Every structure is written in structure tokens, then in C-alpha cells.
Structure 1
């Protein structure tokens, strides 16, 4: 039985008397071609262990199970656990885990060198993606469906204006990121108000830019974007999270050759790395 169709999805929802929860961002994908395309983007083989976040009724899980060696599906909504045990009963390579993706230890579940695939609820997209990248999990690749606007922010560069920001730098610092394809809102039950996109994030063996102190680097980045209309000089010298004097900021900007009147949104990752390293040295040495 193919799960990813409007009729099957409605039948399952009726069978289990399921009312979808807006608070959990539950929108179920009902297009088999798109489900299979997501698996294709993730380049799943029988050698792969795949962690799926938010399997819902198991439509994407089913397609992953056909291609992967093992699928571990992490679902927060306890009402869906018996549904998944039913819809995925024929797949002995699927394990269903009741848990919160913002808390679960993915390495403990999946071991090393696994892939993460998910149709993420919009409201927790950024926290989950950044948790996967910042907490040093042993994940090789992340393929997620997210709100189209968020996908565009993930892959944005300084040339992309307001789309470029802290999320862009955080994602691209850790991964090679690209938008695989867009997904219209019409292929979901219930239909969301916005379109989605599937993003492929291949985790880098080494971060895009080498920095002296990663936490300090991201403090500089966050301070630079906190008030986007401010110049880089004013943003950094007035940022409460980093405590830098104007003289120190001026010296660092001059030495790395960045015009103090530029805004942070015009600096690329390598420039932020160079600037943060010099600020770190001037502040702590």
C-alpha cells in the first residue's frame, strides 16, 4: 500500500480519528513523486542509516525504507506511534522512536555517518537544523523540506540582500547547501499558506572558514546582524553580547581592510572569520 496519496492519507486520518494539531505544524505530503524525489536527493542506499524527524503517518518513511538499510523515525506526537506501527508493519528495517528532536541524542540512536531526512514543521526548522550542525552529531547529510522563504535564507549570499543573515552563515559555515526543488502548498493535507522547498545540506569535513574561536565568531556574526541598518562599526561597538570598544572595532576593521561604513550583510563568511579572529586577538591577548 502506497501511503503518499490524498485518498490513503484521508483514509488513515479517518481510521484513527486523527485531528491534526496546528501547534505541531502537521501538514502531510500527499504526492508520491515528490516523496520519491526527496529520497533521490538524499541519495539513499542500502548502506545508509537514515534518521527521519516527524514521520507523521509514515508516507516518507515508507519510501526511505525501500531504499535504506535502516530507518529510525523520531515522532513527537504519541498519537501517531500506533499509526506508524500499523502503516509500516511490513518494513522490518524501520524503528519508531517516540521523542523530541530538539532533545534526542541522534548519535545514540543511529551511530555514526548517518543521514537525516525530514519534512520539518515550519516552527522548529531553524532550531532543529542548527542543533544538528552545532552539537557535533555524526551526521553526513541533511535533506529537509522547509518553508521556501527559509530555504532561500539558508543558501543566500551577501548579494541576496535581506535573505542573507545569521542563518545563512550558520548553515553554510557547516555545510555545502543548495535548494534541490520547490514544492507547492497544494500537495499537502491540510494545505499550508506558503510554498515549501527541499534543501540539501552536505556536512563539511572541515568548516568553510577556519576560526580561532567558533563561539566568538558567531557572537560577531549575530552582533553584526542584530540591527541590520547599522554600520558594521556601530553594530559591533554597541552590541551587548560581545562587549567591544569602538577603538578596538575601528582598529580591527582598518587592519582587515573593511570599510567601517559597510553593513554586516555585505560581508561574506571569510571576511567575518578574518574580522572575528582579529577582534578575538585584540580583546583577549
Structure 2
């Protein structure tokens, strides 16, 4: 789990595969500790962009938790959240929304509205709504999650910064570019301070700030953000990771716009 949080996903995968084999050998495939190990391995795969493998593991873990602990046990709900995230990453937003809503309702019933697990589920649902283009709904949920995270965990906690980053994305899609830029810069500063400049979350946040600049017509600033993010993502995540490819595409858009601008200038 520590390696996952540090963004060292390949190392996390190797260790977690060993742990899962050990748990399964000693305790059996459906023991809660085995299922927890399965969950963590699925997260490492999801973070590497290996969504199909992650989905298979998450589905098995969720089924196991439901069988052993019941549908509303916090461990089951954590697994439900994890599967929803994998589905969201694959663009299967309707399926992800159903799972996130169920997890959020159950978390709230079992743990309360302001528990960190409830807030993580709220955050996940807001991300799905954002991806579905339901920006107003996403904004309301994301504002609540961010406010509560700040109260419960503090401004510098990684979960709070995640929520800040997500709300900035909603603002950008709503065309609130000043608000988006202000919040995105705060998120980037927070990630850099708390996780370091080479952490995947920091690099993705850098990309996100580039998108704000690009939408605001500030192509030189956007290009600089994309280039820095791309160098880091290629090094940390590899050239084929979905986040790396996305940044490469956005940088190409910026470079293409700059070339078009120079061409118009020469022609005139």
C-alpha cells in the first residue's frame, strides 16, 4: 500500500503478487486478508493503466467480500469503490455511477457523511459525473467533499489535494477558467510539497494546469506544462501509459496551434 501511495506502482505490483500468493497459500482464496491483498494488487494494476486485469481482480475481491463479510461491510464498500474507479477509467461511466452511488449510500449509513471513506466515495462519484458531462452535479458533490476533507484531514492531506484537483477540472469544463487556474495551481503546489515533483499525481496535476492554460488561450504556458509533465510521465509511468499518451496528444495540439500561428504571421 505504501509503494502504491508513493506512485511506485510496478514495485507495488511485484510485492503484492508475492503477498497475495502467500495469503492464498496459508489462509485460502476467500479469507479477508487475501481479498485485501487482491484489492491492493488491483489498485497497482489500475494505476499502471492495466484496466482489464484490474477489473477481473476487483470483481473477484468484491464477490469474495460480499460472500464472506456481507454487502454493507466497509471492506466490501472499499472494493466496490475500487471497481467503480476501474470502470470509470475504461469510460464505462453508467456502470461506475451505479456502483459509486451504492457505495456512497452505504458508507454514509454505516460510517457517517464526513468519514474519509464516505468522502472518497463522494469524490469518486463526482469524477464519474464530471466525465459524463454533468458538471453542475459534479461541482456540488466535489465542493462538499473538498470542504469536508479540509475539516477532517486538513488542507495538505493527499486526499484533500486530490479533491482540489478534481474540482479544478470541473471548473475548467464549466468555463470558470480563473477559478480553475487558481485551484489547479494550489493543487499542484500541494502535490509537489507533499508527494514530490516526480509523483504521478503531481505530473497529472501539471498536465491539468496545462489544459487550463490551453483553454484560456495561453499556449506558451500550456506547452511548458505539457513538456514538463510528459518528461516526468515517460520516466515514471512509461511511454505507453494512458496518462503519458494523453499528455503527448495535448502537447501535439499546442505545438500544432503554435505552428499555425507562425504560418499565419508569415503569410500576412
Q: Which gives a bigger RCO, structure 1 or 2 (Cα 8 Å, sep 6+)? A: 1
Instruction: Give the TM-score taking structure 2 as reference length.
Output: 0.30
For the pair shown, the structure with the greater C-alpha radius of gyration is 1
Q: 1 or 2, which has the higher helix percentage?
A: 2
TM norm structure 1: 0.29
